[in-house]
Amino acid sequence: HPPPPPETAPVEKDNQAGKQKERASSLCKTPPSLIRSKNNGAEFHRGMLLGEGGFARCFEVEDENGDVYAAKTVAKASLTSTKTRNKLLGEIKVHQSMDHPNIVKFIECFEDNQNVYILLEMCSNKTLMDMHRRRKRFTEPEARYFMIQILGAVKYMHSRRVIHRDLKLGNIFLDENMHVKIGDFGLAALLLSDSERKKTICGTPNYIAPEVLFGKQDGHSLEVDIWSVGIILYAMLCGKPPFQSKEVNMIYKKIKAHDYHFPEGVVLSAEAIDLIQALLSKDPADRPSLDMIVEHPFFHGETPSHLPVTCLEGIPHWK
């Protein structure tokens, strides 16, 4: 099989092929049109399929009050190994503990005989990846608008010792008001102390920080999310991630060699270039803190307080 598109392919490098097989078999069948919680008998009308990831399918559902949610649905039949079960439990535990305006709200979790359902705040304008596919590049004011909200959410997570570890355009959702909501805590890790280091090699190829790939003895920590934010900013402004390549191994090679350039023909402000370079510092210790990032001159430029939904398709006229 050819490698899957990098944006949609989280990997744990130890067992890539096995993981993909496990993911493919884990996708649930379409749930019944009336889903009934075994936990408390609550009923939900199932709506359309919103999307699917490697691990789950997501459906629109409506509760008895007419409130609409996104139900991330995982087939119980796929939760056979302790490792997979613990992974889902870990995702639920971390996501459940998050409460921030720029993080997808976790409503509740329940099951029926077939599936486990994670009820989430509905993000009807999809993800920044969908918008990026259509727009290719965002303007700097738009990038500032998105970045400020992303940084607020990451600051909140990090203050609670949570590393997201899979920040990417496809995990940044947009609600009906075009507010940013970070989602998918499937690879998140909770640090038990400020000094704890993580060793698992995971992430999505284009967004993985070099210290994760080098698999250094001393592991990685919160700074991997700062790196991913740098990749996101580069992709928003330049049209594609900096280490993009057809071959996943080539992406890794380029990240390790710190081999990236700013594309010719794309006009970027000096401030944008300076911030991206700082975020993409090879040494995690050289990356700016979240407080330093928001103080960066890049953010002195015009920043819209809201964006119209028309910007999903084309450059907005907000003046």
CB of 269 to ligand ADP, least distance (A): 31
Whether 221 and 191 have beta carbons less than 8 Å apart is answered as: yes
Question: Closest approach of Cβ 209 to ligand ADP, in Å?
Answer: 20
Nearer to ligand ADP, 86 or 269 (CB): 86
The secondary structure of 10-55 as a DSSP string is: -EEGGGHHHHHHHHHHHBPPPPPSEEE-TTT--EEEEEEEEEE-SS
Q: Which residue has the tokens 């999307």?
A: 51
Beta carbon of residue 37, minimum distance to ligand ADP (angstroms, whole number)? 18
The burial of 292, by beta-carbon neighbours within 10 Å (0-12 exposed, 13-18 middle, 19 or more buried), is given as: exposed
* Closest CB to ligand ADP among residues 23, 144: 23
Proportion of the chain in helix, strand, coil states, percent, rounded to 5? 40, 20, 40
> Is the CB of 103 or the CB of 233 nearer to ligand ADP?
103
Q: How far is the CB of 48 from ligand ADP (least distance, A)?
A: 10
End-to-end CA distance of the chain: 48
The stretches of 128-198 forming alpha helices (DSSP H) are: 128-135, 140-159
Residues contributing to the site for ligand ADP (CB under 6 A): 50-56, 58, 70, 72, 104, 120-123, 173, 183-184, 186
On whether the CB atoms of residues 68 and 53 are closer than 8 A, the answer is: no
Active site residue 166: yes
Q: Which is nearer to ligand ADP, 123 or 226 (CB)?
A: 123
User: Rounded to whole angstroms, how far apart are CA atoms 173 and 179?
Assistant: 8
| Residues 11, 15, 18, 19, CA torsion sign | negative
In whole angstroms, the minimum distance from the beta carbon of 298 to ligand ADP comes to: 28
Integer Rg of the chain from CA: 19
Which of 61/238 has CB closer to ligand ADP?
Answer: 61
Taking the complex as a whole, the smallest distance from the CB of residue 214 to ligand ADP amounts, in Å, to 26
User: Is the Cβ of residue 167 or residue 275 nearer to ligand ADP in the bound state?
Assistant: 167
Q: Three-state DSSP class for 295?
A: helix
Q: Which residue among 166, 184, 194, 283 is the active-site one? A: 166
CA torsion sign for 186, 153, 131, 12 is negative
Query: What is the closest distance, in whole angstroms, from the C-beta atom of residue 166 to ligand ADP in the complex?
Result: 9
Determine the residue with CB nearest ligand ADP: 53
Q: Could you give the dihedral angle defined by the CA atoms of residues 166, 207, 296 and 176, in that order, rounded to the nearest 10 degrees? A: -50
Closer residue to ligand ADP (CB): 173 or 243: 173
Distances (CA, A) of 212 to 11, 26, 142, 148: 12, 27, 30, 25
Q: Name the residues annotated as catalytic.
A: 166
